[in-house]
């Protein structure tokens, strides 16, 4: 498999118990990593072969280990790769977790060969590409992730990077730029495929580590601080590190008869650092742009596609609320995500009533910012981006400040200022018969459930997970069980939140899967998803995010009318 593609496997076989694990005596294999001996690696034996201490082996191989859901672990490695280890595939000995060596190496996209009592492990090493310095800062750039540790003895600080090698010319450090903080600085290599950054700290100097992992590689930054009169000096945070509290990852799972790749952007503290905002092409309803353009035009750092739409007219199908204004109505009780004034998310199934409020009655409105059909009554706002042309016998009203501004048997080509245009065709014309210039008439709407201070919303559906439970209800949201939207094996786009309060942008690609298989796939991903809603899939399913100064794309990049953008506060 291409090393650029994540090797992710959810491990589901039953675990070996600690009682079934016996220590090897005399037969313990010696592990070599890319030709270098790992003499201190803890190994035990089982009936299935050698097992290694999970955290220790992962670190030596260059991967990071974090606790996952339900007692499992998530391992991160490569550029944006990760996989989930189910606790049932781990054994316990001496209070430590052990994993099958072959299984661990395979999922790190490596291989193991045995010769006598020697296990030869081959896993791609991280290459140190460059080292740069500036006042109060030292940065290392690798082509892929490398796990690291730090140790200090006296004033000597060692930062050790595992399964890493230097490239020619990557070890030079301009000590002059950091001489007020360091007495010495060097990059050296050691046995066992390790690169060591060795620093001599001057008296009172402290350090802070910042890292960023993305498609362009692994960036390690060490910030140096020293006491100053009146306080401490901390270098200014640059554009690269500012607000980089999100990470892009992949994992692979087997579901719906094929291998699915889950691409996900994980955003922490998102409601403090960002606003989640519906974005439209040119700010207009009924136009199409690629997601990259929608995000860039709104100065966003990431984005996800949203509503279903008519590909012929780019008319959105489903709810859109932007800055508190209703721009497109609900459709078929399908689920939506709402964003309130404080940035909180609400996953719900909206039910809207649209009407023209007059002094005597409320006239029911059928459509909003879409082409008018036969026997139809549609309202247009200034955000409608197409020409108003019913193409049949109709009556139109222009409304402004709660009154009828004009009545006509023609319609303006566009809506200006704070006006609203009402178009009635066919037998719906009778509903506007009694309204004349100067009469009271105002476009209004109500929605259930009521969400206080609602500022934004988009819909598509279905709702997949709510409060940690599978709540998929195709009938409730008017999806046909036998329809193409449900049964087709297609890419899927999902917005989700976790129990930890993180926001997830997700695109599921690969073999493609049916809609009914999606909640189960998300539940066994180990991502701890608490709430999730599906958006438009197929070639519309796409995600973009900034990796430093670059814009990375995932999934389809067809033109779409609506997206969700993550915009720094």
> Taking Cα atoms as reference points, which of 274, 267, 420 lies closest to residue 356?
420
Tokens of 487: 């049964």
* pLDDT of 195 above 70: yes
User: Which of helix, strand or coil describes residue 89?
Assistant: helix
Decide: residue 254, CB within 10 A, 0-12 exposed, 13-18 middle, 19+ buried: middle
How far is the C-alpha of 388 from the C-alpha of 405, rounded, in Å?
Answer: 17
Q: What are phi and psi of 227, to 5 degrees?
A: -60, 140
Instruction: Tell me which of 317-321, 352-356, 474-478, 522-526 is least confident.
Output: 522-526
Residue with tokens 């730090």: 150
Helices (H), 25-173: 54-61, 101-107
How far is the C-alpha of 196 from the C-alpha of 188, rounded, in Å?
Answer: 5
* Cβ-contact 246, 267 below 8 angstroms: yes
Mean predicted confidence (pLDDT) in 229-234: 34
User: Which of helix, strand or coil describes residue 295?
Assistant: helix
* pLDDT of 280 above 60: yes
pLDDT digits (tens, 9 = 90+) for 395-446: 999 999 999 999 999 888 889 889 999 999 999 999 999 999 999 999 999 9
Tokens of 143: 């082509």
* pLDDT of 260 above 80: yes
* pLDDT of 241 above 60: no
pTM: 0.63
Q: What are phi and psi of 466, to 5 degrees?
A: -140, 130
Number of H helices, E strands in the chain: 6, 48
Distances 263 to 120, 251, 507, 508, 527 between C-alpha atoms, Å = 31, 7, 5, 6, 12
User: Which of helix, strand or coil describes residue 201?
Assistant: strand
pLDDT digits (tens, 9 = 90+) for 61-104: 999 888 776 678 888 888 878 888 888 899 999 889 999 999 99
Polymer length in residues for the chain: 569
Four-residue CA torsion sign, 282, 283, 288, 289? positive
Q: Which domains are assigned to the chain? A: 18-122 (no CATH), 126-233 (2.60.40.3500), 247-349+452-568 (no CATH), 351-448 (no CATH)
From edge to edge, which strands make up the β-sheet containing 43-46?
Answer: 43-46, 49-53, 96-100, 91-93
pLDDT above 90 covers a percentage of the chain that reads: 61
User: Which of helix, strand or coil describes residue 218?
Assistant: strand
Distances 10 to 50, 109, 229, 315, 469 between C-alpha atoms, Å = 20, 15, 54, 40, 20
């Amino acid at each position: 498999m291409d090393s650029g593609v994540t090797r992710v496997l959810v491990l589901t076989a039953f675990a070996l118990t600690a009682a079934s694990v016996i220590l090897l005596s005399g037969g313990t294999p010696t592990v070599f990593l890319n030709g270098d001996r790992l003499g201190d690696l803890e190994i035990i034996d089982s009936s299935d072969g050698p097992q290694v201490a999970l955290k220790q082996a992962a670190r030596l191989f260059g991967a990071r280990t974090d606790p996952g859901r339900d007692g499992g672990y998530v391992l991160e490695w490569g550029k944006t790769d990760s996989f989930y280890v189910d606790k049932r595939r781990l054994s316990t000995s001496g209070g430590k977790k052990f994993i099958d060596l072959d299984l661990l190496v395979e999922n790190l996209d490596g291989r193991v060969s045995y010769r006598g009592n020697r296990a030869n492990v081959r896993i791609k090493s991280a290459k140190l590409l460059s080292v740069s310095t500036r006042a109060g800062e030292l940065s290392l750039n690798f082509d892929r992730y490398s796990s690291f540790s730090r140790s200090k003895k006296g004033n000597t600080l060692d930062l050790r990077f595992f399964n890493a090698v230097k490239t020619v010319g990557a070890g030079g450090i301009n000590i002059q730029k950091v001489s007020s903080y360091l007495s010495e600085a060097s990059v050296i290599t050691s046995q066992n495929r390790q690169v060591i950054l060795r620093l001599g700290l001057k008296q009172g100097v402290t350090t802070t580590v910042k890292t960023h992992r993305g498609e362009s590689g692994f960036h390690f930054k060490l910030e140096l601080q020293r006491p100053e009169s009146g306080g401490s000096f901390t270098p200014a945070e640059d554009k690269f590190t500012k607000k980089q509290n999100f990470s892009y990852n992949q994992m692979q799972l087997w579901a719906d008869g094929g291998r699915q790749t889950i691409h996900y952007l994980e955003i922490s503290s998102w409601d403090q650092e960002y606003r989640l905002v519906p974005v439209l092409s040119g700010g207009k309803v009924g136009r199409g742009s690629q997601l990259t353009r929608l995000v860039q035009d709104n100065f966003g750092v990431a984005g996800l596609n949203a509503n279903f739409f008519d590909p012929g007219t780019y008319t959105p199908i489903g709810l859109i609320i932007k800055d508190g204004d209703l721009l497109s109505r609900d459709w078929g009780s399908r689920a939506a995500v709402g964003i309130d004034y404080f940035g909180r998310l609400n996953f719900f199934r909206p039910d809207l009533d649209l009407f023209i409020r007059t002094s005597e009655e409320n006239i029911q409105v059928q459509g909003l910012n879409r082409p008018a059909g036969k026997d139809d009554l549609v309202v247009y706002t200034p955000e409608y981006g197409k020409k108003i042309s019913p193409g049949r016998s109709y009556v139109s009203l222009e409304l402004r400040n709660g009154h009828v501004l004009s009545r006509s048997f023609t319609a303006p080509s566009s809506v200006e200022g704070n006006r609203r245009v009402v178009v009635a065709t066919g037998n719906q014309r009778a509903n506007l018969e009694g309204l004349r210039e100067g009469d009271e008439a105002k476009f209004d709407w109500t929605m259930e459930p009521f969400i206080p201070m609602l500022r934004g919303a988009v819909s598509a559906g279905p709702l997949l997970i709510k409060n940690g439970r599978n709540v998929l209800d195709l009938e409730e949201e008017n999806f046909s069980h036998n329809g193409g939207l449900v049964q087709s094996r297609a890419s899927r786009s999902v917005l989700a939140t976790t129990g930890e309060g993180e926001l997830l942008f997700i695109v599921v690609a690969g073999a493609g899967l049916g809609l009914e298989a999606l909640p189960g796939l998300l539940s066994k991903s180990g991502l701890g998803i608490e709430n999730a809603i599906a958006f438009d899939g197929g070639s519309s399913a796409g995600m973009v995010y900034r990796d430093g100064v670059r814009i990375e794309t995932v999934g389809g990049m067809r033109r779409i009318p609506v997206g969700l953008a993550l915009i720094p506060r």
